[in-house]
Amino acid sequence: MNILAHDVDAHEMIPGHLLEDAFGEPGRMLGELFAVADKLHPDPSATNMHQPEVQDEMAIDPDSIWKVKGPPAPSAIDLGRRIEVMDAMGIDRQLVFPTAAIGAMVIGGMNDFAFAQRFGGDASMFGDLSRAEFADRFVDAYNQWAAKNTAIDNRIRVVGILRTSQDANEMIAKAKAMVESGIRAVYLQADVPPGGVSPAHSSLDPLWALFEANNIAVTLHIGTEFFFLDPRWCLAETFNDLFQSPEIPNTNIQMFSTVHMAVENYLSALVLGGVFERFPKLRVGLLEVGAYWVGPAARRMDMYVKVFPGAAAAKFPMKPSEYVARNVRVSPFNFEPVDRYFQDDPNLSDVFCFSTDYPHVEGTKDAMKNMMAKVEPLGEEIALKFFRTNAELLLP
């Protein structure tokens, strides 16, 4: 079965020595930190962000592009080559998320113990800036880069980052600037209440109205959930075998098994708080946090509107699961049994979407072939939904 697919989760992966070229002074700082980290924790793999010899010069081969990962992969650095890569992969449109900027946000929010554990504690490359100030400056520089690269081609949607502020008006003003810059998808933090309140609070309605009116995809993506749960839950001898990457530093099996919890909490607030009732055309993507939890979460919310008949959500004209099906899209990991999700929750068949995670290693080397083998037996309609039509909500 041949389907021209949409891809709801891909990345840039600019290595440390080229970060200054892309992001200016904050890029130089992060590049120096990646060099320090590589000395402390040498990474011989292709996904190492400290590879001073790497340039974006690898040939775009229809076979190798699925196998090569990390900064050496074609168009990991130069998004001017991304359309050619997408054509070779059979991808029509693609959301492109950050790599280094996710690392910068995590670095800015780490406590001193976690920073010392991962990076050795040397913060001299930040000069007079605190790590939090560095993260803010990096994200600002990244958003300028995102707007510039989104303008390359309508098929590439580089996702801007809207950081959480305790001031809802500040978030709304920054969101307006991002929309005016041409950014067509935004990435919100899942771990801290936006504007100091629930996402369902009326003070944030202008934010959701702005995104709805401009067909902006609102996304929650792995990388900002680490402060939702105390990291000490992972502090045990049996969890010392860490997997390192800029996107998910210091992660282990315990962290990955709970990676969806912050996003699920955010989704519950949106659904039960009436955001999708007030803004029926709001587009939300929950990406790279798995899909194994979506069906149970929808069923649980449906159950609780019956348990709490006096709640506002119990009086909405649609069930929580129906809002999820209409307004939300989720990308499963390549190792998940997505065929079972379609079978177990047919009412959520519009929710699940294909992604490559290119050029991150988590996307694996045979994502399209592997996922096609799972969904093709379910019939052409389901395969088309998974690989293309479901994702159109996030890629209008």
Answer yes or no: are the C-beta atoms of 323 and 277 closer than 8 Å: yes
- Position 314 scores a pLDDT of 97
Total residues found in the chain within this entry:
396
Amino acid code (one letter) for 182:
G
Residue 146: HSE in the Cβ half-sphere, 13 Å Cα cutoff:
31
Rounded-to-10 torsion of CA 121, 127, 128, 132: -50
53 CB neighbour count, 10 Å cutoff: 7
Q: Which residues of 318-355 are buried (b: 16+ CB within 10 A; e: fewer)?
A: ebbbbbbbebbbbbbbbebebbebbeebeebbbbbbbb
Q: Which domains does the chain have, with CATH numbers?
A: 5-393 (3.20.20.140)
- Position 223 scores a pLDDT of 85
Q: What are the tens digits of pLDDT across the range 48-81? A: 999 999 999 999 998 889 999 999 999 999 999 9
- Position 376 scores a pLDDT of 97
Which residues in the chain come in under a pLDDT of 70? 241-251
**Considering the entire predicted model, what is its pTM?**
0.95
> Which sign, positive or negative, has the C-alpha torsion 6, 10, 12, 15?
negative
Residues pairing with 31 in the sheet: none
d(CA 306, CA 314): 7
Answer yes or no: are the C-beta atoms of 260 and 224 closer than 8 Å: no
**Cα angle vertex 32, ends 145, 69, to 5°?**
65
Sheet arrangement for strand 5-11: 5-11, 91-97, 156-158
Kindly write down the DSSP assignment for every residue of 97-164, as one continuous string.
Answer: E-SHHHHHHHHHH--HHHHHHHHTT--GGGTT--HHHHHHHHHHHHHHHHHHHHTT-TTEEEPEEE--
Please, is 392 exposed, middle or buried when counting C-beta atoms within 10 Å of its C-beta (0-12, 13-18, 19+)? Answer: middle
Residue where the block lists tokens 């007079």:
128
Sheet arrangement for strand 217-221: 160-162, 185-188, 217-221, 283-287, 328-331
Residue 364 backbone zone (phi > 0: left; psi -120 to 50: alpha; other: beta): left
State percent of the chain over pLDDT 90.
81
Q: DSSP state, 91?
A: E
